[in-house]
Amino acid sequence: MMTANKTTTPEPQTKRAEQFRNYTDSVHQERVKGLYFTKNTQQTTHYAKGMKERYGKFNHRSMTIWEAFQFLDKVVDESDPDTSLTQLFHALQTAEACRKKRPDDEWFHLTGLIHDLGKVLATKEFGALEQWEVVGDTFPVGCKFQEANVFHEFFGENPDSADKKLSGQYGVYEAGCGFDNLLMAWGHDEYMHSVLRNHAECKLPEEAYYLVRFHSFYAHHSSEAYNHFMSEKDKSLLPLLREFQQCDLYSKTEDDNNSGEGSKMSKDELVHYYKGLIEKYCPGKLAW
């Protein structure tokens, strides 16, 4: 895992911003559409509550963040129209984009590295969940599914849509209650956020937890479709969330020689740098 001494030589980025997140006719269209059909019809309030309770016991494994990365090399995100590389490559691409964006904010770099680490849920070692249970955009359950969500039309077959209590504009929540108080669809964001929160030795700032939990909440940070739930905290962190989203999305490439998003560091140097950040901000073994 990331042991070669080869330096990365990036090719010029030719993909335009508007070409990312193409859910209409990408080369991965059938794969992506099929996943979202299942996700949007099966992610109910009852399901999300059950999975949060199941994985909130943190009884699957005990290991460091660095040890967990070996599992990301087994995961290709089937919801992603922009890349078919493993999530190990994506983690490095995002981390290096974050480092380029904010050179002096180490916590921001580490957040880029670990933001999708919850996708280990798709591996057999963590329960072998189906991909619709792990990847893709996140959204609140227990309230109306907003049209800004990807493949919104599929929510018509979600049982919650037929429940008046769960499908109203505010559903079971109150205006301005804050995203922290919403029950989100179960997936890698919720899982990794809970794992980090549960680790007493973690020294990441509050902003990092927020980015891990809501970076896939595209209907919010790209379309502001859930503004009626926003708290002052959510309003203040929206610019940071959008900044992180750019590092996450626009660093994606199908070039597996560009795992460091154009970094001039060797693979050994990348390993040394990010291992150091893990030891500084989130040391020791975590309960997964």
- pLDDT tens column, 189-201: 999 999 999 999 9
- Torsion sign (Cα): 106, 118, 6, 9: negative
pLDDT band at 85 (very low <50, low <70, confident <90, very high): confident
Q: Tens of pLDDT along 113-147?
A: 999 999 999 999 888 999 999 999 999 999 999 99
CA 125-251-107 angle, 5° bins = 70
pLDDT above 70 covers a percentage of the chain that reads: 89
Q: Tens of pLDDT along 24-43?
A: 988 889 999 999 999 999 99
**Residue 263: predicted pLDDT:** 61
pLDDT at 256 > cutoff 80: no
Helices (H) and strands (E) in the chain, counts: 11, 4
Least confident of 17-31, 57-71, 163-177, 257-271: 257-271
Burial of 128 (0-12, 13-18, 19+ CB in 10 A): exposed
pTM over 0.85: yes
Please state, rounded to an integer, the average pLDDT across all residues of the chain: 90
**Residue 14: predicted pLDDT:** 56
Question: How is residue 25 annotated by DSSP?
Answer: S
Q: What's the mean pLDDT in 161-190?
A: 98
pLDDT band at 48 (very low <50, low <70, confident <90, very high): very high
Least confident of 41-45, 144-148, 261-265: 261-265
pLDDT at 51 > cutoff 90: yes
**Residue 38: predicted pLDDT:** 98
**Residue 249: predicted pLDDT:** 86
* Interatomic CA distance for residues 172 and 182, integer angstroms: 9
